[in-house]
Amino acid sequence: MVKIITKKNYRGEVRQGVQRNIVPLASLIENSPQNGYSPICPNEPTGKWVLGLSSLSEQCLDLSEAKPAPANDPLVDRFLLRHGDFLISRSNTIDKVGRVGVFRGGLDNCSYPDLMMRFRPDTSKIYPDYLEVYLRSEATVKYIQSHATGTSGSMKKINQSIVESIPILLPPPDDQKKIAAIHTAWDTAIEKTEKLIEAKKKQFKWLLKMFLGRTSETAKWRRVKLGEVAEIAVKEKLQTVYDETLLTVKLHCKGIEKNSRMSPRLTERGRPYYKRHAGEFLIGRQNFHNGGFGIVPDEFDGFIASNAITSLKINKDKLSSTFLFYFFSRETYYKRIGHIMDGTGQKELSDKQILNLQLRIPSVQHQKQIASTLNTARHEIDLLKKQAEAYRKQKRGLMQKLLTGQWRVKTK
């Protein structure tokens, strides 16, 4: 059983009341970090490979980003990777410079490029899995970002001396293994949840197709134009937008949200703004084909939207707003609408075109049953997403404590 101890800290450097044993990375590795080699890559596979810079992702080393390397270039052989090699990006954007990955096999004859450095940990001094976790920690990321150089705002660099100087908290060997194991356990829980989310998303797409796709059942439904079951909501042009909250339509069928990035502003030649109310169905006329539509939730009642968004008032005796949302949410429907959008520059749907959109609808009762089933499936996905985010947040907090020496672990 693993227990967390919050009082005992590592012996060594005393800093703000916390004892910590901190050493530079150079004292924990077998060799100095070495730059790689970037050959001219052929188009066809040769049996040899070189990693792309994007192979170093935030969480792992992605071998799918490798490119063919020339078969007869002797320099490639000098930079072939061995199991257990550490790689770190030495030049990239500020958020990506210093990303770390560990090569654990999986691709024969694989080398690494010039914009990465390679080193190997001394396993008699540090547990490799712990070092990997620590080099991805918030403390290391901040250290690298603060020491990265470069005049370009988009590209920053670190050199061998910066990498060797990275301060590493060195707890006892058993603690290193326990911390790495805890990190792996959290990653496993997160990965399982993310896989479940993907499975639920596939199930949701299947339900959309089963309930609303072209089947013998839906072929019997009544065909109507949207204008027969809905109308353009009343537009009352605002004379001032002071202290008003702006709504925006999210893409990819993600509904309506507050626009916290932009404040509404009236100009002589700008679009007017209108009050929008709970239950209205909003359509982003320039982004319907990107899934830009949704229903105004109760908590957004009275917020405003620009004239770039059409608001519909649904006839509840004929159409369920939620059913309409899911009917539109099929990619085979909303993406196809892009072909009828007008405009020489930024294309958009007109209100007339929106009201002429073709629907197939069953009885309102049947619509509500379908919408309820799809709501349940979507709610399950939302709950799993919240659970995954909660896991990530808890993992960050716990690892922050363990990797700064504030907490220790021990086996009972």
| Domain at 22-170, CATH from 3.40.50.10680, 3.10.150.10, 3.90.220.20, 3.10.105.10 | 3.90.220.20
- What are the CA-CA distances from residue 361 to residues 212, 234, 366 (Å)? 9, 25, 9
pLDDT, mean of residues 57-69:
91
Give span(s): CATH 3.90.220.20, the chain: 22-170, 222-361
Give the CA dihedral 121, 122, 124, 129, nearest 10 degrees.
0
pLDDT at 328 (0 to 100): 97
Largest Cα–Cα distance of the chain, in whole Å? 77
Nearest to 370 by CA among 211, 218, 222, 214: 211
Architecture of domain 222-361: Alpha-Beta Complex (3.90)
Mean pLDDT of 69-81: 95
| pLDDT tens track for 199-234 | 999 999 999 999 999 899 999 999 999 999 999 998
pLDDT above 60 for 109: yes
State the pLDDT at residue 177.
95
For the domain covering 1-7+172-207+368-412, report its CATH number.
1.10.287
d(C-alpha 190, C-alpha 332), whole Å: 32
The residues, ordered by sequence, that sit 6+ positions from 409 with a Cβ below 8 Å of its Cβ are 2, 3, 4, 5, 175, 178, 179, 182, 402
Residue range 369-383: average pLDDT? 97
CA–CA separation, 155 vs 95, rounded Å?
10
Cβ burial, residue 364 (10 Å; 0-12/13-18/19+): middle
In the chain, % helix, strand, coil (3-state, to 5) comes to 35, 20, 40
Give the number of other Cβ atoms within 10 Å of residue 330's Cβ.
18
Mean pLDDT for 239-258 is: 93
Q: Indicate if the pLDDT at residue 151 is higher than 80.
A: no
In terms of Cα–Cα distance, which of 52, 61, 67, 64 is closest to 84?
A: 61
Instruction: Place 405 in a pLDDT band, splitting at 50, 70 and 90.
Output: confident
Query: Where, residue-wise, is CATH 1.10.287 in the chain?
Result: 1-7+172-207+368-412
What's the mean per-residue pLDDT of the chain?
91
